Amino acid sequence: MRWPGVLEYFADYLPVTSHTPLITLNEGNTPLVESYQLVEKLGAGKLYFKFEGMNPTGSFKDRGMVVAVAKAKEEGRAVVMCASTGNTSASAAAYAQRAGLSCIVLIPQGKIALGKLSQALMHGARVLAVQGNFDDALSIVRYITSHYPVALVNSLNPYRIEGQKTAAFEVVEWLGESPDYLALPVGNAGNITAYWKGFKELKEKGKITSLPRMLGFQAEGAAPLVSGKPVSNPQTVATAIRIGNPASWKGAIAARDESGGLIEAVSDEEILQAQRMLAEEEGIFVEPASAASFAGVLKKSEEGFFTGRETVVCVLTGHGLKDPDIAIKQGEGRIEEVGASAEEVVEILGLEREHV
Ligand SMILES: *Cc1c(COP(=O)(O)O)cnc(C)c1O
């Protein structure tokens, strides 16, 4: 089938005018993969994974970035800029090229996964590594974009949220209704804000009769929404959610409270275990931050949270290939060396011949 991308397909729900350039990398339309194995561990009725790693640059950021970049072009901007833990810069760089704009990205020095950095570089962005964390980089970008003719494409840009809400539309289109629970990792909190907005719009339009409860999960060392106060030195292996002062703080709290949901923390160990479980048991390879949604759902199920009749959707925000270092570290010691002969391979595998 022909999939035209987010701007064209969801035009009626987006700030698309006759002047908006309908740029696209055919983002969106990502699979809602049904769980075969992990659902058994949960005690929920049905478990699905919204695999956003299948977007063109490997994360959900593409949904919002296509809208933000198209609007920047429509408004006559020549340069876009963002602070990024990685995926925003990869996406901004790709869509800026697509639209014929130039792109500047500010990343926290040394704290960005290899795959993401390689994307920003390959797409020709100007990459500045800031000697500070994401929150420092974002405040610099906010200052520059409000004083210079440069478009801000962080999720503070409302067009980002507009684009990202289309993932909620796809979940509903796939299931034919709203799920009971929607779980997702929370960093800067744009995505939880966007999903909630998307579900609420569908309810207002009468397309769904009920709303999901939103389950947000932060990493223990970067959980300002759980503790209720900013974290000055956020720490977690899940670099995409290593954020101490979420820009969409209010949106996240509103999504939690209006939906009767929760925002809780999971440890790095739980995140990495969930990442391995998704890869080994379901065949889905995600980056660590993405696994926080399933890690959280698993933890809640161990606390007896689910009754066994619910439909749960875990959003898997980014592809595992984004962060090869973490994956290889987790597999360390698993590679066995062997001589280049069939006999040696047979021996090491302990294979026995079939007797006829
Ligand atoms: C950006 C990102 C997040 C966090 O999303 P927020 O909107 O900042 O809460 C989670 N996972 C991945 C892979 C991301 O790229």
Q: Check if the beta carbon of residue 275 is closer than 8 Å to that of residue 286.
A: yes
- The predicted-structure confidence for 218-254, as pLDDT tens digits, reads as follows 999 999 999 999 999 999 999 999 999 999 999 999 9
Residue 278's nearest CA partner among 53, 58, 116, 27 is 53
Cβ within 8 Å of residue 352, ≥6 positions away: none
236 CB under 6 A from ligand 1?
A: no
> Which residue has its alpha carbon closest to ligand 1 atom 2?
240
DSSP annotation of 317: -
- Tell whether the model's pLDDT for residue 206 goes beyond 80: yes
Alpha carbon of residue 289 to chain centroid:
8
Distance CA 316, CA 54 (A): 10
> How long a stretch of residues is the chain?
356
Cα 148 to ligand 1 centre (Å): 27
User: What is the DSSP track for 192-214?
Assistant: HHHHHHHHHHHHHTTS-SS-PEE
DSSP 87-115: HHHHHHHHHHHHHT-EEEEEEETT-S-HH
**Confidence class of residue 122 from pLDDT cuts 50, 70 and 90?**
very high
Identity of residue 231: V
Residue 55 Cβ contacting ligand 1 at under 6 Å? no
Which two tokens mark 5? 């991308």
Q: Is 58 in the pocket of ligand 1 (CB under 6 A)?
A: no
- Tokens coding 218: 């932060």
Q: From atom 1 of ligand 1, which residue's Cα is the shortest distance away?
A: 240
Nearest CA, atom 4, ligand 1: 187
Q: Is the dihedral of CA 127, 131, 132, 137 positive or negative?
A: negative
- Give the confidence band of 85 by pLDDT, cuts at 50, 70, 90: confident
According to the model, what pLDDT value does residue 244 have? 95
Segment 255-305, tens digit of pLDDT: 999 999 999 999 999 999 999 999 999 999 999 999 999 999 999 999 999
Per-residue tokens: 93: 């760089």
pLDDT digits (tens, 9 = 90+) for 41-66: 887 799 999 999 999 999 999 999 99
Average pLDDT, the chain: 96
Does the C-beta of 53 come closer than 6 Å to ligand 1?
no
Instruction: Read off the pTM.
Output: 0.96
Whether residue 222 contacts residue 242, with contact meaning beta carbons closer than 8 Å, is answered with yes
pLDDT of 354 reads 86
H and E: helices and strands count for the chain: 15, 10
d(CA 7, CA 19): 12
Q: How far is the CA of 205 from the centre of ligand 1 (A)?
A: 28
* Of 241, 278, 293, 319, best ligand 1 pocket probe by most atoms within 8 Å of the beta carbon: 241
For the CA of 189, the closest atom of ligand 1 is: 9
Return the H-helix or E-strand segment holding 353.
Answer: none
> In angstroms, what is the span from residue 46 Cα to ligand 1's centroid?
24
Q: Decide: 290 in ligand 1 pocket, CB within 6 A.
A: yes
